[in-house]
Structure 1
Amino acid sequence: MQSDLLEVISKEELPVEQQIRWRNVDIVHRLRREPTDISEFKHYEGLVAIINDNGTAALIHPRLFRIIGLPFNEKSLSLTFYGDERKCAMTCAITGFTDKAVAETAALFWSLGHAESSNPSLTIRSHDNYGDGVFDFRAVQPEQLARMFERNPTRNVVFSYLKISAFQSTVLATRTHPVHLRFGCFCAIEDDGDALASTLSNRQSPIGSLNFSAVNCSDDRVWLSDVNLKRLFQIPFIDELILDGCFSDDLIPFLFASPISTIRLDDCHGQITQRIHIAPDVLSLELSCGQVYPTHSLFSYLSYLGHRELTKLSVFLGCNDDAQDKDIQELIRFIGARPDLQVLKWSSPLRSAELMRDLFAVVEQHKGLRTFQIVDFPYKMDRHHEFLANLIKRNRVIRVVDSDGELLINGNEMHHTHSLNRFYCGLPNLGHESPAIRPALVKEALMHSAKRDFQRGALLLAKQTDSLYQLVRSVPADLPTSDDGDNRMTQASAPNLPEVNSSERKREASCCCDHSCKRAKI
């Protein structure tokens, strides 16, 4: 397919080794000009082979693919471009005989724009060939590395199966725009992060996110030394720091005292995966494992939270282990000891009625909790919803919601309890109204949302004794007490109270009748 971008060439024009290399490829191309955006290749279907003047080849495909078994000890590097929602947009595999030539071609392709994506991402991987055919990423020059961000200054970049030099890490740390860098599986930094930490320490603008987590990787190496991790913890311009959790306990106090907006720990050891998300007012704990349950490290983290305000807690413990029950008990005690906690998202399975009773008892007595989200309600432990019904009756200010943030309701009685709780939570809003109109709002509530409901009427008047006093004073002493006199009593009391317009009536209804709490998102 001829175009202004690619020219079809005859394989006879290639050197002998290239002819042998591409003997199974029907068509090979040469670039007529330098491309500017990856969208220029989307019109080509299947594999496109491009031979470059420096002796390298670029294999382009619209989907993921890998090169296996390169002849002649060729060196190779793979570039995978992702668009929105991590959808693969293009893969470019570069092969060549020298590191310098591969780096030169790589710089051309990773400088391509990605105008069709609002959140572009690029994964750079050196193929794990055997022998002398492994590409040395350190051959990439600073100006070539900088081209990665020419047209995509804030793109996400993932490095894997390669080693980054100290000088290259300095180039990455001095981008003018916030970037999102991940040093992934089998990626190493030459000086254990000395140059990176030093450069970031002198930075005065946000860097974006740094990810040193090797997900789905059995390698236990530490990408940064503990000294450099400690330095990173003290840098306020990092928006998000993601680590693999493999560092000494001596760093835990610095971790929780860090000014970084969000810190996430991914602890990868075989089947064990532990995630801890830390933000100024948010802590999210996720722990799933296969056989061994690393509780010591988990609760050593929690022990450092005493000084830190905590408003949201998300918990998932996915182990099928007897030790899990003991650790859930520890977490339940931790929840009860944190009066500042406002939102609790519980995703862990409750395998016994005793655990469920203990959890609900702590939530019932908690003074700060306002939202209790149960992702997977244990119906087997509470078939008749007794725990749930007792909880919302004894704690009027808490909302118990499902995974979608909707109220957990079973039958009319529970619906009535939730409605009464909304009424109760809306009562304090009346105290913020002007004293001149508050008695009229109380009267309006008595006539509508609390009409023929002794419990609501009693709650309303108990909270508004001054308005009750004014209402009693406004009632004539000779007012009839029969049922026929109900309307006349209302009419007699009305002239002594200020009129409330329709908009104020709606505001009162919002306060007392249908106080809607916003869904809590963790």
Structure 2
Amino acid sequence: MLRCAIFGKTDAAIAETISFLWSLRAEDGGQRKHVNSLLIDFVVDFDVTVLTAKQLARILDSNPTRDYYLAGGAWSTQQAVVMATRPYSIDLKLGGEPFAFEDDGLAFVDALRKRQTPFGSLWITLNRNERGFSRANMERLLKLEVLESIKVTSRYEGRFLEPLSAKAKALEYITEGRFYRPEDFESIEIPAKDLNLTWYLDETGNYNGLLISFLNRVADLGHLERLNLSTSRSQWALDNEFPNISEFPAITKALVDAIAGNQKLTHLNLQDTYFLWYYPPHLDFQEIFRVIENHGSLRSFRISEYPRADPNYSWLKQLLSRNRYITVFDSCGIRCSDGSSVDQMYALNYFFCGSAELMKVSSSLRPTLVATALMESASECFSMQHFCCPTTLTSCVNVCKNISWHGHNGCHDNQYSVILNS
């Protein structure tokens, strides 16, 4: 990260230098997106409005794929319109206590309403004094359909459910649980297919009830494709506020119903939830794994750590034997495994899934691809006894039989011998 400070005799002189430096084009070459980002912050006595609308437009247009984070300054209505009307998708983060729109976001929202093309990604931190965005303007913004992705960190006092109903494909919402009741989630509409929800649970009485009610609503909606659920508590709360353990069977059931009810769900992340971090023995992981066994879309499941109640990994082995597409990760992003037989099962499933994908490839390319798969994967990743289990052998032979018939008519017997003797 490169940090710099700009000094000048006047605010206008500083703005001119800012405009020049920030309009320099970043080098291409496939650099990672987070490297091409710009954090804009100002000391208290700098008047950001001296940066003209033309200068701001030049800064944004010079690097349209850059992430912009405006963390300070009181921005004018003209500048707000520039931010909202770029003729391309933009990744824009607005917020922090020093940040504000001089009209509480009115011009920004009005300009967004007139857009005919997707805006891109917007991340807003809402201040307690509502100076950056008033509640009324924020509610108007959340009803717009031009946002592809929105992240809202709310510091508003009191309930603020409207972000959950934002008409965006992807939504991340960070809020305080103490303002909500379980009944708040019973009928709420959540259009997003990619949902990331974080609750701060200090001073929250019935947070088991909140979680159960939310998961029940997720089960009813049934359209989620990605779900990340997190909770956060201070050390004081961890030491002094404890959940009702007798309600954990209800949490397990609500979670199972949410998974079963969302058959398009591909990624589920629960690694930062209080019930997995601090109370995993009270959850029925066998029930959770059992519903995943029959899930047709789920590809990754992230937990804090593998349950110690199953030291032999028998629950995971059963899951992997019945759902060949799933991978279970811990909080470090490492595959849960016993280091031996589970690794072999992952390798077997990886080969199985790759073989199935070959059927989607042009028939002229299949023989070359299957030979590569056998040479680079099958011979290195698993032992003969695992490969020759009846179910998997039959499945792989069926796949490769189709590959043989479509690839080299008349020589499929030789190809079978390669598969069975690898």
TM bin, normalised by shorter chain, reads 0.5 to 0.7
Q: How does 1:156-305 map to 2 (within 5 A)?
A: 156-186=67-97, 187-213=99-125, 220-222=128-130, 223-246=132-155, 251-252=161-162, 255-256=164-165, 258=167, 260-267=168-175, 280-287=192-199, 292=204, 295=207, 302=215, 304-305=217-218
Among 437, 453, 456, which residue is 2:390 paired with?
A: 456
Aligned-pair distance for 1:155?
2.5
CA contact (8 A) 2:153 2:175 kept: yes
Distance 1:109 1:506, change over 3 A: farther
Query: For the residues of structure 2 that align with 1:115 and 1:170, how far apart are their CA atoms?
Result: 28
Aligned-partner SS, 2:221: coil
Q: 1:351 to 1:183 in 2, by over 3 A?
A: closer
Deviation at 1:501, TM superposition (A): 1.2
Structure-1 separation of matches of 2:413 and 2:419:
10
Matches of 2:102 and 2:318, distance apart in 1:
59
Equivalent pairs counted in the alignment come to 353
The Cα shift of 1:343 comes to 3.9
Amino acid at match of 1:402: F
Bigger relative contact order (CA 8 A; separation at least 6):
2
1:93 is aligned to 2:6: yes
Higher relative helix content: 2
Extract unaligned runs of 5+ from structure 2.
179-189, 361-383, 399-408
TM-superposed CA distance for 1:116, in Å, is 6.8
Map Cα deviations across residues 120-179 of structure 1 (whole Å, 9 max, x no partner): 322222213xxxxx2222333222322322422333222223111222201211112322
- Aligned-residue sequence identity (percent) comes to 20
Taking structure 2 as the reference length, the TM-score comes to 0.64
Q: CA separation of 1:422/1:143 partners in 2, compared to 1, >3 Å: closer, same or farther?
A: closer
Supply the distance in 1 between the matched residues of 2:344 and 2:19 (Cα, whole angstroms). Answer: 65
Task: Determine if the alignment matches structure 1 residue 107 to structure 2 residue 19.
Answer: yes
**What amino acid sits opposite 2:255 in the alignment?**
I
Asked if 1 retains the 8 angstrom alpha-carbon contact of 2:173 and 2:196, the reply is no
> How far apart are the structure 2 equivalents of 1:96 and 1:298?
55
- Aligned-pair CA distance for 1:364: 0.9
Structure 1, unaligned runs of 5 or more? 1-86, 129-133, 271-277, 433-448, 465-497, 515-522
Bigger Rg over Cα: 1
Alignment CA distance shift 1:180-1:450 (3 Å): closer
Q: Does 1:383 align with 2:299?
A: no
Kindly provide the CA deviation profile for residues 156-215 of structure 1, in whole angstroms up to 9, marking residues without a partner as x: 22222311122220121111232222212121112222211111111112322222126x
Q: Distance in 2 between matches of 1:169 and 1:323?
A: 45
Deviation at 1:500, TM superposition (A): 5.9
Listed one character per residue, the Cα deviations across residues 349-393 of structure 1 (whole Å, up to 9, x for unaligned) are 35456424x132132144326445344434543333344445556
Give the TM-score of the pair, scaled to structure 1: 0.54
Deviation at 1:94, TM superposition (A): 2.5
**1:398 shift after superposition:** 6.4
3-state SS of 1:91 partner: coil
Tell me, in whole angstroms, the C-alpha distance in 2 between the residues paired with 1:380 and 1:267. 32
Aligned: 1:323 with 2:235: no
> Which residue is 1:402 aligned to?
329
Asked if the contact 2:84–2:108 (Cα under 8 Å) also holds between the matched residues in 1, the reply is yes
